[in-house]
Structure 1
Amino acid sequence: MIDHLGLQSADVPAAVAFYTTVFAPAGLREAMRYETPGGPVVGICGPDGFPQLWLSPLAEGTERPVHLALRAPSREAVDEVFALVRAQGAEVLHEPRVWPEYHPGYYGVFFRDPDGNNVEAVHHTPPEE
């Protein structure tokens, strides 16, 4: 159900160091990092290597909205979520599309929930072999 969680941080490198240090016994480590104009965005993974905790710079003043991604069983399901979000009148942040900068086959839609949190429905299409 939960695919990944994103937290905003006033100091991303310090937050990464904290999480990877205190959760080292659980196998947490940095999986990937990319730079943005506001600073680094870092994906932390467990033993499976799949980044499920994302740390990013403060993006909206002093507010720290949560980013919650829920896994969808198909791209069609992501599109259905999008249609229902629009029907509810919620703010759409990004319409459904492939996000190759995350990984090949990453298909998601981003929107705000009633409390302003950044919510995502995502499907991970396996790479063609």
Structure 2
Amino acid sequence: MIDHTGISVLDFEAAKAFYDKAMAPLGASLLYMVPEQHTSGAKVGGYGRDRPVFWLHETKTPAPGRHYAFTARSRADVDAFHKAALAAGGRDNGAPGLRPHYHEHYYAAFVFDPDGNNIEAVSHGPA
């Protein structure tokens, strides 16, 4: 069971601007910034709904792209996530739609963030 996770980003402010917009339709926002005296000067911030669970960590070395899927409360939220992420500068990696090869009600959308991470919003319920 995952408690929290994070990614490395080259430009923290660009990543923050992207995730601020992409996470809003999912009901998540930046909840906490770690004081830089505890991070050797790097910017580190956590997103979530009620507590930080998805962290951005500023780095000077790019990391290989990763995949992260975020729970959406509805198919409309998946659609709104995809639209917001593209408007924030993300690149499409799969328009909103059913992915029945996972299961009958798997409705998801995929976007590459500014650092090349493949982020997804998914709803598992029926329409």
Give the TM-score normalised by the residue count of structure 2.
Answer: 0.48
Larger Rg: 1
Structure with greater strand share of residues: 1
Alignment TM-score, normalising by the size of structure 1: 0.47
Ranked by relative contact order (alpha carbons within 8 Å, sequence separation 6 or more), the top structure is 2
